[in-house]
Amino acid sequence: MHEYAIAYDVYATAKRAAEENAATEVIRVHVEIGDLAMANPEQVEFLFVVIAEDDPLFRGAALECHRVPVRSRCGCGYEGDERFVCPRCGSLPELVAGREIRVSSVEIEVPGS
């Protein structure tokens, strides 16, 4: 149930953002999912709806997942999408993107807007 935990986390993050800004409604939540995060975006979206269903703040909320491609960088100066072996020097490159799952923005309705 990896996706359930992710969806719940996204919901909790969005709810906190909504409450901090005194929102009356959450409209849309944008989530970045790295290609290496091993999460199925459709499933995260589905579970998000299930979790948020009983929360009036989220009555009309939609979840939008954005894929983040793998990016790596090596000490020799290589930058690209190789994950395990640097094509230039053969060492292990450092992953700079592709593993993350994070809420990038939350669109909300605030009173008086």
Whole-number Å distance between alpha carbons of 59 and 73: 42
| Residue closer to Zn ion, measured from CB, 34 or 93 | 93
76 part of the interface to Zn ion, by CB under 5 A: yes
CA dihedral 6, 12, 17, 19 (to 10 degrees): 160
72 part of the interface to Zn ion, by CB under 5 A: no
The region of 17-25, 32-40, 51-59, 78-86 touching Zn ion under the rule CB under 5 A is 78-86
Q: What single DSSP character describes residue 86?
A: -
83 part of the interface to Zn ion, by CB under 5 A: no
Whole-number Å distance between alpha carbons of 82 and 74: 10
Q: How many whole angstroms from its chain centre is CA 26? A: 16
The region of 8-16, 19-27, 65-73, 86-94 touching Zn ion under the rule CB under 5 A is 86-94
The region of 22-30, 51-59, 73-81, 95-103 touching Zn ion under the rule CB under 5 A is 73-81
Closest CB 55 distance from Zn ion, rounded Å: 48
Whole-number Å distance between alpha carbons of 101 and 73: 20
User: Where do contacts with Zn ion occur on this chain (CB under 5 A)?
Assistant: 74, 76, 78, 86, 88-89
